[in-house]
Structure 1
């Protein structure tokens, strides 16, 4: 009897979840198809029913993790400094990077920094452009709503978006390489202050509820 569509969808999801877990822990090059299928508790041959290659699976894992991530949901939130900074705060949350059950796309890509594989480099470019466009859209909207202390022209908006991305990625990359939790938290907090400065937002004027929520997340990261 042929497998139902539901069964095929469930087995594909099992492979995706197993692959994402292993890619986050070990990186693309150190994970084999056999290891992925062993974690998924499926035969090696079943892999090619759903994916044509390991790179195709990595691509699918990245896209699926982005869809499921809180960052993607926050990107659809109302246009306000509060929500934009909540997006940044969530990205800077180390707990999300350690959560093997539902890691974000950055958890997959950080292990592949410097990769020479064309497909993975393309994923980096796509992820960068997606994040940059999302930030530019929100910064432009905030400028039109007179919520920023500067003119949100195209060049300024692009510069702010680049600065925010550089601060976010750099902070998480450094924090992940340090074992001392207190220092990790201080790095992330410093990055958040830097990003508020890029946005032109005074930290003392920022929403206290969001600051409190951020502190709680960092304390329990």
Structure 2
């Protein structure tokens, strides 16, 4: 009996979602194809009917994760009516919630260190997705892309450091300092 129309695309989407979540949490190199497939509720034998290799999946997961993050940030900005939208995004991005929910968080701080050692294909996709995220931040803040890239760099760097330390007070302080500087950057 044949699968219903769209079944293969739905399965592929589940695999990409599982990969994005796993990569956000554990990085690329520490995540195996069987682990990803298990997260999608599938056996690893079906992987190659959807992807040529893991690199192709990494690229697809980067696209998905950035789209997911942009949608999440846009939703947060749309819900807040009192603050400028960019301040709401900064507050969300540099919140303890976002710091602690790595599996649902932005992929930029999770993978930037590993991407530099990835294939040219993955680096090209990551570069495009980073540019897309910079454009989103720049447009939301109504600033030029140079300032937008500095703003995003501040946000990503603050989150990386806050996730890296084992001192909760220092981590919170890094988030707070990052928020303050990011908001000042928008105002100048």
Determine whether 1:182 maps to 2:132.
Answer: no
Q: Specify which structure has the higher proportion of helix.
A: 2
Secondary structure at 2:114 match in 1: coil
The total of aligned residue pairs comes to 186
Aligned to 1:63: 63
Aligned to 1:112: 114
Question: In the TM superposition, what whole-angstrom CA distance separates every residue of 1:40-65 from its partner, at most 9, and x where no partner exists?
Answer: 33222211222222122122222222
Partner Cα separation in structure 2 for residue 38 and residue 108 of structure 1: 21
1:194 paired residue among 170, 181, 185: 181
Whether the 8 Å contact between 1:109 and 1:124 is mirrored in structure 2 is no
Larger radius of gyration: 1
Whether the 8 Å contact between 2:63 and 2:129 is mirrored in structure 1 is no
Instruction: Call closer, same or farther: CA 1:35–1:137 in 2, change over 3 Å.
Output: closer
Question: In the TM superposition, what whole-angstrom CA distance separates every residue of 1:137-189 from its partner, at most 9, and x where no partner exists?
Answer: 3444xxxxxxxxxxx7xxxx344223212211110111111122221111111
Aligned to 1:143: none
2:153 paired residue among 143, 163, 166: 166
Aligned to 1:21: 21
TM-score when scaled to structure 2? 0.80
Instruction: Call closer, same or farther: CA 1:168–1:100 in 2, change over 3 Å.
Output: closer
Q: Give the gaps of 5 or more residues in structure 1.
A: 141-151, 202-221
**CA-atom RMSD, angstroms?**
2.9
Secondary structure at 2:104 match in 1: coil
Whether the 8 Å contact between 2:85 and 2:140 is mirrored in structure 1 is no
- Runs of 4 or more above 6 Å deviation: 75-78
Instruction: Call closer, same or farther: CA 1:159–1:17 in 2, change over 3 Å.
Output: closer
Q: Give the gaps of 5 or more residues in structure 2.
A: none
TM-score when scaled to structure 1? 0.70
